[in-house]
Structure 1
Amino acid sequence: MSLTALSHERGEFFDALETREPAEREAQLMAALRLQLSHAKAQTSAYAGLLAGVDPADVCNRAALARLPVTRKPELAARQQALRERQGLEGADPYDALGGFSAIGWRGCVRSGGAARVFQSPGGIYEPEGRAADYWRVARALFAAGLRAGDLVHNSFSYHLTPAGAMMEGGAHALGCTVFPGGVGNTELQLQAMRDLRPQAYVGTPSFLKILLDKAAESGLRLESLQRALLSGEAFPNSLRDWLAERGVAGYQCYATADLGLVAYETAAREGLVLAEGIIVEIVRPGGSEPVAEGEVGELVVTTLNPDYPLIRFGTGDLSAILPGPCPTGRSNQRIRGWLGRADQSAKVRGMFIHASQLAELQRRFPQAGRARLVVEGEMAQDRLTLKLELPEGEPREGLAEQLAAALRDITKLRAEVQLLPPGSLPNDGRVIEDARRLD
């Protein structure tokens, strides 16, 4: 029997959404997107401006979605700060404290009952949490990791400032699990709780789980009840996955952010991460807004269908790529390769910063171009720039290198040599700026 058939037989799907026909899912997402755009324009000051002139009824497919602006975390932070400084946080409208992106607030605000919590991420970015059950949609990832109603979950994510602890707790409660709120640190006390309460599952970072298990081994403590783990917040290499398995713990990973909630999660197939339901994911050129071809590494851009915090084309700053085909477990949504690095690349050259967005602008001006990489070589104060750019066969080359060099100088104010390469010459790793200078 196939893995898909076994999954159906055992009831190993969180809900029917996971096995929808892809065309059905896409149609439902696009219909929900149009409603979300109308809602965001009407209920948030940020999108009233960003989507001015956009008729939501016209955004009926991904090509139309790709024409909308991408908002990245630095822009979100800057808008939040600007509105707070302009009005003063004391006495300011709570919607303004959140940059005008939130449709819910507090202090007398009644939309959707108002925010249940407000969190702070590094950089002074604030995110609201609404009152819906499993607000961050994490229950799906916990279910795929093997957690079930009645399990006791040891939650070692932070419960203060950032939303990670609340994210996992909300998902666990939606599954019918009980949660021990361990939080971070206090290794001895957390081990004592594990010994006394005998949890079936752990959620937290993979590194802290290893610390706990190492410490338990040193103390002669056997944590036989602990069999499952959902891990996030940092890399989870196969070597650590195998190390956990040798100790009786099946570890799975998920990708989530404080702004978006769950984005993707691992399944028993161990082949990439399946995209969460209720979001629209695009992979775009690092620093740009144009989607790349399937399989190409680029920046993960997410549109949520959350009415409380309707982020439209939100750039995560993380690199990933779409994997071909469906998950072998029978889940029909697309899969991503997982976290592959950061998209917000930059380098300081001759006293000036070069950003990935500038390379994206160059490629926008030359749509016939393929992958591009700006290589910085030499020693500090003696920098040498080389633009390496793939050009499909049959594209005219005469005078193109000179045009590219002039355009790059116009965008960056820096001179560079241009090398035109055949397709496939540059690695598919999402890197567009390579700093190869000698620092010694």
Structure 2
Amino acid sequence: SYHFTPGGAMLESGAHALGCTVFRGGTGQTEQQLEAMIDLRPDGYVGTPSFLKIILEKADERRLTVPSLRKALLSGEAVPASFRDALGGRGIRAHQVYATADVGSIAYESDAREGLIVDEGVLVEIVRAGTGDPVAAGEVGEVVVTLLRNRDYPLIRFGTGDLSAIVPSSLSAASPCGRTNMRIKGWMGRADQTTKVKGMFVHPSQVAAIVARHPGIAKARLVVDNPKGADTMTLHVEVSDGDSSPREAIVASIREVTKLRGEVTIRAPGELANDGKVIDDVRRYD
């Protein structure tokens, strides 16, 4: 049910190559998927951390367990240390993989958990966004990738728009697991105002599309947060005097345009900051 999501197809083909039996999942129908996991007894989960969290919380709510689940490969979002610890408390060993639809696998985590090891099939640079100039090891910049092995789909210095940083020690010493390639710190946000929520990109143009549906909105800012470890979206809007756009209609527009749930907060004219921000990602991953 991940339909048009390229990452789902990529990971499924890899799982089949390893001889795994794959049960396709995806957002929605959480209870049915939980029941299927209990019946089919998978020992691994591959997907976003947020959806795994939803499934496990639903199991807790129904006082059910998925005792067969012992491994998780997480991607599409940042993985907070608190969530990894929570999975460990359930007996689930989790690892991250950083990938994009254009490139495929870029970096992956080993049991050493000292950064993500750059895949052998790509060359990764960390550059200053907007200039393309490499930054010093440890400094946060945009991830730029060159494919080394795919002659049918050449990509040279492809800007992912994602932020990360080189783990300085990886330039002079191997990982404790024995891997010698460079390591990066994983996904640390976006270089532009585009962001990811529950594994889905949200663009400033989508906020503009929502505003265009409601002429009474004079100004808008989408705030993305993660209280209690769960991603949330709230569209803060300044409305014109006499605007009759019901809050429910704006909420429905958010869902239709972004395919994600969001809330709406009405602000007084002139209350939103005049700083050019359309999307404000205030999530913390402590």
Q: Distance in 1 between matches of 2:276 and 2:102?
A: 38
CA-based RMSD of the aligned residues comes to 2.2
2-structure distance, mates of 1:188, 1:257: 29
Q: Residues 438 and 307 from structure 1, CA distance in 2 versus in 1: closer, same or farther, beyond 3 angstroms?
A: closer
Partners of 2:15 and 2:276 lie apart in 1 by: 49
The CA distance in 2 between the partners of 1:336 and 1:240, in whole Å, is 20
1:314–1:200 Cα change, 3 Å: same
SS of the equivalent of 2:160 reads strand
Change over 3 Å in CA distance of 1:295–1:436 after alignment to 2: farther
1:287–1:344 contact (8 Å) kept in structure 2:
no
Partners of 2:159 and 2:41 lie apart in 1 by 40
1:314 is matched with which residue? Answer: 158
CA distance in 2 between counterparts of 1:438 and 1:161 reads: 32
SS in 2 for 1:230: strand
CA distance in 2, matches of 1:173, 1:206: 22
Check the 8 A contact 2:146/2:158 in 1, yes or no.
yes
| CA-to-aligned-CA distance 1:63-100 (integer Å, 9 cap, x gap) | xxxxxxxxxxxxxxxxxxxxxxxxxxxxxxxxxxxxxx
**Residue deviations 1:2-37, cap 9 Å, x none?**
xxxxxxxxxxxxxxxxxxxxxxxxxxxxxxxxxxxx
Q: Name structure 1 gaps, 5 residues minimum.
A: 1-157, 347-434
Q: Secondary structure at the match of 1:254?
A: strand
Question: What letter is aligned with 2:2?
Answer: Y
Q: CA contact under 8 A between 2:166 and 2:185: conserved in structure 1?
A: yes
Alignment partners' CA distance in 1, 2:40 and 2:8: 19
1:279 — aligned with what?
Answer: 122
Higher Cα Rg: structure 1 or 2?
1
User: What is the aligned residue count?
Assistant: 195
Equivalent residue for 2:144, pick from 296, 301, 305: 301
Check if 1:330 corresponds to 2:174.
no
CA deviation vs aligned residue, 1:254-286 (integer Å, no higher than 9, x gap): 111111101111111111111111111111111
Alpha carbons 1:275, 1:336 under 8 Å: kept: yes
Q: Report the TM-score when normalising by structure 2.
A: 0.64
Report deviation, 1:341: 2.0
Q: Distance in 2 between matches of 1:199 and 1:258?
A: 26
Q: Given the superposition, is the C-alpha separation of residues 438 and 171 from structure 1 closer, same or farther in structure 2, using an over 3 Å criterion?
A: closer
- Asked if the contact 2:78/2:188 (under 8 Å) is kept, the reply is no
- Alpha-carbon distance in structure 1 between the residues aligned to 2:34 and 2:193: 40
Alignment identity in percent? 65
Residue 343 of structure 1 pairs with residue 186 of structure 2: no
Going from structure 1 to structure 2, the CA distance change for 1:180 and 1:294 (only over 3 Å counts) comes to same
2:256 match: none
Matched to 2:186, the amino acid is G
- Which residue is 1:262 aligned to? 105
Q: 1:247 Cα shift?
A: 1.1
Any idea what SS the aligned residue of 2:111 has?
coil
Q: Distance in 2 between matches of 1:339 and 1:191?
A: 28
Structure-1-length-normalised TM-score? 0.42
Q: What letter is aligned with 1:336? A: I
Superposition deviation, residue 184 in structure 1: 2.5
Distance 2:130 2:102 in 1: 19
Q: Which segments of 5 or more consecutive residues in structure 2 lack a partner in the other structure?
A: 195-272, 278-286
Counterpart position of 2:89:
246
Aligned-partner Cα distance in 1 for 2:121–2:7: 19
Q: Is the 8 A contact 2:69 2:92 kept in 1?
A: yes
Name the structure where strand makes up a greater proportion of residues.
2
Partners of 2:84 and 2:274 lie apart in 1 by 33
1:287 is displaced (CA, Å) by: 1.0
* Partner Cα separation in structure 2 for residue 253 and residue 226 of structure 1: 16
- Residues 165 and 183 of structure 1 are in contact (CA less than 8 Å); yes or no, is this contact kept in structure 2? no
After superposing on structure 2, the runs of 4+ consecutive aligned residues of structure 1 that deviate more than 3 Å are 435-439
